[in-house]
Structure 1
Amino acid sequence: MKPSNQRRVVALPYLMMAVVAALDLLSGPEVGFLPLVALGPAFASLAGGVRRTVLIGLVALMLCVLLSAYNNVLGTTRGFTSLASILGVTAAGMVAAAGRQRREKELADVRSIAEVAQRVLLRPVPRRAGHLRAAVSYTSAVAEARIGGDLYEVVTAPGGARVIVGDVQGKGLEAVETAAVVLGAFREAAHDEADLAGVSSRLEKALNRHLSGEEFVTAVLAEINPDRTVTLLNYGHPAPLLVRADGSALFVEPAEPVPPLGLASLGPEGPVGHRVTLAPGDQMLLYTDGVTEARDRRGAFYPLADRVSLLREDDPEAALEALRRDLVTHVDGPLHDDAAMLLLRYLG
């Protein structure tokens, strides 16, 4: 909850009791606003703990006694009924506040576990990958989860590096589990296999053991070579965006589309690797469809190619953060899908 909203919720019980007291004083004893003083402890359970609810309940009782004396109903059935109402609502508020505090603690524990899982599953990428500088950004559609079905990894080697950015079909814990399978297989195969085709074959085998039915994972695999080239294999994933030093941008589309990982039996054996040569100042952005399919309130998709000017920041992390903030501003609300971005910048 935002601090301004938190302050409003904290002040709400006192405001309600003040309004009820004013109405009671202005309308006279005939109308009977006294039972509404119980709104104070009722709203107290929305913020704060049991002690605060008890404190506001005591304030409500004192106010009720004063108003009962003013209305000449102190000691009457009407006065006792009002006091009983406040006591009952205060007791219910105490129970509600205790339950809310327990749920908040459980949520804090879940967040802590999610943060640990994020560090294990989506660990920070190395700042340098061969002759490239790397930066990453991940925004989960479920704010409390912190992690989802998007995945990324950079595995460095003496001759360069290998990169993957992918998107698991589906949501929730099953998607996170599948992402863990892909990342585990990639981290191992990236060190062992002689080429990207071997890496992708290992990923396909790992997914075949894990997935069932028509589940799949779209992905782009990249190999950063010592000769200033990047080899790409695209498995049904959004095409990487190549941004040249002069500011021009183009999407690096595969020569022939192939099915995602996990659906190899439905199409060709695999994509044909295509190479892109980089020059000083060039950048390559790999991302998931949560970026390009993000819509604003009018239904317009995020114009990624028109936002390449945001990547001119000297620091790659700052450039990627500027792009992420612009994406969130475009949506003007919570994202409907996870959004992962990995930026590779040629160092020269």
Structure 2
Amino acid sequence: MRLQPRFRRPGGPWQASDAVLAIPLGLIVAILIADILTPPNLPLGPLLIVAPTMTAWFAGPLLTGAVGAIAVAAQVGAGVALGILDMAFLAQVLALVAVAVLVTGLCYLRTRHIQELAQVRTVSEVAQRAVLRPLPHRIGPLQVASAYLAAEENALIGGDLYAAVRTPSGTRLIIGDVMGKGLTAIGDAALLLGAFREAAHRRAELPELMAHLEQSVCVNLAQPAEGGEAGEGFITAAVLDVPDKSPKVQMVTCGHPPPLILHARQVAALPAARPAPPLGLCEMFSPEYFVDTFALQAGDLLLLYTDGVIEARNSHGAFYPLTERVARWPQISPPELVDRLCVDLLEHVGGRLTDDAAVIAIQRTQDAA
């Protein structure tokens, strides 16, 4: 879990951490007493600037300005008590005022920047979640869990994608990976997800659905991009049709890694017999889409993932051994599998991925009729 620094909202309710305010106030008192007790030729009043400077690290501009004003008042009070009101003392007071105002202004700018950044992040999170909607925990007879680990700092999603759509006879799922990173990859992922959600209800057969998705991606890539040139790229994807009343699952794979199935404490990959090329390679291929069928019995668990999982390397350059790790966790629920997998994957790479990674775990929880 990545932790973000917290700053108290100026003017908001005090918290336990506000007890730290006693430190700069205590410094003001200590410096004031020391200044009174020391000889006049050893002025300690300029040290009072430490109090507002320290306050600016953990408080907002209002408290920082208040502590600065207290520091100035303390220095003036010490000068009056000691009878030191010459030009040198006045210069010290003016210097303290100037520095306190400067520190308070910088604290205000920092707090304003933090608030703007928090607002931008909130909007960004809403926009990203609108593109990649969280999957429900239950879809028909399926228990579902999913996770997305974004490689880019402060991002929730990137070029990986997944979605699920209910049909009259079952559930259709897609998982994919867009070539590239950044906003372009997110835009391509959003387009494919929109095309899938719109067509999954209407296309009766998977090959027909895949042809529609291919056409949508190709049309998008043909549009002029930045610089006036058409976009270049492709998307690996796998689409599955999981019926409610039959254990036979249909799958079409377009250059995507094969899913894993956990059955009777055994883990097996489900490679496509005749995989199609990735979506978007319109000018290079005229793809045919072949349907692979496999059984998903009650209690079986199916794991879908992107290549960011199996291509994750540790400090020695070793790839993440997905099949080996999953085999260690038999008889596990989808949420537990996804949680353990994410923790184990991040431990493998030392806490930071170099590529986005997405996983979906589904389990049939009732016998097919």
Query: CA offsets per residue over residues 293-347 of structure 1, 9 Å max, x none?
Result: 3344554433322332675575422432232233334344343333221111122
Aligned residue in 2 for 1:307: 325
Aligned residue in 1 for 2:247: 228
Cα 1:58/1:154, change in 2 over 3 Å: same
* Matched ranges for 1:152-167 at <5 A: 152-167=162-177
Cα pair 1:311 1:323 within 8 Å, conserved: no
* Matched ranges for 1:35-74 at <5 A: 35=46, 37-61=48-72, 64=75, 74=84
304-313 or 111-120, which moves further after superposition? Answer: 304-313
- Higher Rg: 2
Counterpart selection for 2:306 from 288, 293, 301? 288
Unaligned segments of structure 2, at least 5 residues: 9-15, 222-229
Q: How many residues align?
A: 345
Cα pair 1:16 1:39 within 8 Å, conserved: no
Deviation of the 1:160 alpha carbon: 1.8
Residue identity in the other structure for 2:97: L
Question: 2:238, 2:128 → 1: CA distance?
Answer: 21
Question: 1:330, 1:34 → 2: CA distance?
Answer: 55
Deviation of the 1:243 alpha carbon: 1.9
Question: 1:27, 1:228 → 2: CA distance?
Answer: 88
Cα 1:79/1:153, change in 2 over 3 Å: same
1:99 aligns with 2:117: no
Query: CA offsets per residue over residues 149-204 of structure 1, 9 Å max, x none?
Result: 22111112232221101122233332222221111100111111121111111111
Counterpart selection for 2:183 from 158, 170, 173? 173
Query: CA offsets per residue over residues 264-309 of structure 1, 9 Å max, x none?
Result: 4334614533222223322111112232333445544333223326
Aligned residue in 2 for 1:237: 256
Sequence identity percentage = 36
Cα pair 1:21 1:67 within 8 Å, conserved: no
1:340 aligns with 2:358: yes
Question: 1:333, 1:10 → 2: CA distance?
Answer: 34
Deviation of the 1:104 alpha carbon: 2.5
Cα pair 1:236 1:257 within 8 Å, conserved: yes
Cα pair 1:258 1:268 within 8 Å, conserved: no
271-280 or 34-43, which moves further after superposition? Answer: 34-43
Aligned residue in 2 for 1:125: 135
- Secondary structure in 2 aligned to 1:202? helix
178-187 or 324-333, which moves further after superposition? Answer: 324-333
Give TM-score scaled by structure 2 length: 0.77
- Secondary structure in 2 aligned to 1:265? coil
Question: 1:208, 1:16 → 2: CA distance?
Answer: 66
Residue identity in the other structure for 1:95: G
Root mean square deviation of aligned Cα: 3.8
Q: Which has the higher helix share?
A: 1
Aligned residue in 2 for 1:249: 267
- Secondary structure in 2 aligned to 1:161? strand
Cα pair 1:13 1:44 within 8 Å, conserved: no
Unaligned segments of structure 1, at least 5 residues: none
